[in-house]
Structure 1
């Protein structure tokens, strides 16, 4: 359903960008949130909506821009970048399972708040990996939920990338974290498991390799996750090195959109409910701290600059992009630089 790529094809780590597609069968209410930390009023957040002694509690250390799905009844953090250039993306993972045998001693973190916790407290991929390692204290238990604006379970896995050129994918299997940490792990789709994606990618990379005396440059063109993984991987591994930030942004945007699914696409087979239209695409610039949002149903692209956080009207501000009214969705046609258009709002994950 979703695709994420990390364009780190630059030896000096000067022009690093990450792009992702968000796919879903139906439209979802969507907003951008800007979190601006103030030293005299630190943002303290809770890992679960029904707070108790087992809820994970944290204090935000960094500013962030986050794409949220849902509305004031419930929000889920889906995608974003923080002021240290760390980018995080949550993608659907039908194989995820969160229950663990020793979960009673863990601190609970709702999967819909997982991404916000990472962006609030970590400055690098290395730090994220450490927080979810078996040696971490406290041990964190991911709690499942329902995707806001839908009836489907929030079965998700996490990808992270940073300004140092590092990348990782974290899956959850029976409550245990399976972590793939390697700068070469630059493409991610929903399924199969990342271990299987690596295996499939080895086949395709052999087909494209110059060492192969009978190389093949054929590409699967279908909408299935494995097809899209192969396409994105092929193009990402056949790019010239970037020469500027704009070059990297253009590369990432063009590659990830090549792996998108058209609006109103129908698979024609109820056996494949996870093949869905691309609702929106984001591109994050790790170095320049700029975040771009492209709504598939509107022609414009908007961007937000974390370097100009003083333009946000409040410590927590929101820009509504897709709004649900009377069982229909309004996609707002927005263009250009948008720091000035946010409005102050409440922190949806604040300790109450």
Structure 2
């Protein structure tokens, strides 16, 4: 399970941050990639591997920092920010269904490359919504893949937010995109559907409101998605307005940590295998383009600065934060600013050929 929040308090001063938890039943190898747009040469990427005539092909327009599952191919883009201040997060969605009857004429995009496509090509939530709106339904067909390092199908939904204070959630049911684009929709967990999450949250919002003459400030404390949705929503809506960017960052971090699941959490109910420990958390600042990563199995926090592209060694660079050696996971003890610790890498989604 995962939790994601968008803290858009103090929009007048533009202190905007997005935070999320990444949960999984077992540890997962994880790599952070840095992508620089080369003005002298187009960076062309493919929506599938192997690439074919039905693959979605795009040209990267923005620099980005992206956390990916895996340390070697195949990779899965999970979370990131681009140089326009757009943030994209993928979360597990057990009800996601990608195929549809009329999908044969569409260009295919692997759901594990969805985040990268959005960060490469869009500068705002408005542009993301347009790319997957009803008028564009027949253009892009999401296809499912296997989560790297596991045997689980990648059933996912997408959340995006930007420096203009806009946020949206996109779910996919039978190949059709359902978009929730509203300033009030700032919390997201895995299940049930977002429509049902909104419905359930109305109960809690009423409980905490001035309209309730016998208000209750009790909160569900369990690890289930609906519990965590209510907790994150409660705290996010009971915060003082932020006064500066550090305030917004630490607010977002504290709220999303409150909705995390402890390391080595053991669920006693085999009916719910998806209730899992939080592996890592991220906080992204839309305004100053800094990206923070917290590995729950280490005591340090790291950050990457998209304003200092010259520190990266190449057009594509990487930093391994969780590696795997002989089926043993290594959680690298990293601290602080990391731009200078990236090493040269190959683009995991580079186009394999230019189609006529």
Shorter-chain TM band: over 0.9
Q: What is the TM-score normalised by the length of structure 2?
A: 0.98
Deviations 1:52-102 (A, max 9, x none): 111000000000000000132310000000000000000000000001010
Structure 2 counterpart SS, 1:113: helix
* 2:290 paired with 1:283: no
Q: How does 1:102-117 map to 2 (within 5 A)?
A: 102-117=102-117
Report what 1:178 is aligned to: 178
Q: How much has 1:189 moved relative to structure 2?
A: 0.1
Deviations 1:3-53 (A, max 9, x none): 000000113151100000000000000010000011112210000001111
Identify unmatched segments of 5+ residues in structure 2.
Answer: none
Name which of structure 1's ranges 198-207 and 66-75 shifts more when overlaid on structure 2.
Answer: 66-75
Contact 2:137 2:177 in 1 (8 A): no
Query: 2 CA distance for matches of 1:56 and 1:115?
Result: 14
Report what 2:167 is aligned to: 167
Deviations 1:95-136 (A, max 9, x none): 000010100010000000000000000000000000001212
Deviations 1:202-231 (A, max 9, x none): 110000001210111000000000000000
Report what 2:88 is aligned to: 88
Report what 2:123 is aligned to: 123
Distance 1:142 1:76, change over 3 A: same
Query: 2 CA distance for matches of 1:261 and 1:71?
Result: 24
Structure 2 counterpart SS, 1:135: helix
Structure 2 counterpart SS, 1:228: helix
Query: 2 CA distance for matches of 1:184 and 1:87?
Result: 17
Report what 1:241 is aligned to: 241
Q: How does 1:309-348 map to 2 (within 5 A)?
A: 309-348=309-348
List structure 1 segments (4+ residues) > 4 angstroms apart after TM superposition.
none
Query: 1 CA distance for matches of 2:50 and 2:342?
Result: 28
Contact 1:232 1:259 in 2 (8 A): yes
* 2:254 paired with 1:254: yes
Contact 1:111 1:156 in 2 (8 A): yes
Aligned residues: 352
Q: How does 1:21-100 map to 2 (within 5 A)?
A: 21-100=21-100
Report what 2:193 is aligned to: 193
Q: How does 1:146-157 map to 2 (within 5 A)?
A: 146-157=146-157
Query: 1 CA distance for matches of 2:302 and 2:158?
Result: 24
> What's the Cα RMSD here?
0.8
Contact 1:290 1:305 in 2 (8 A): yes
Deviations 1:291-311 (A, max 9, x none): 000000000000000000111
Distance 1:147 1:137, change over 3 A: closer
Query: 1 CA distance for matches of 2:114 and 2:27?
Result: 22
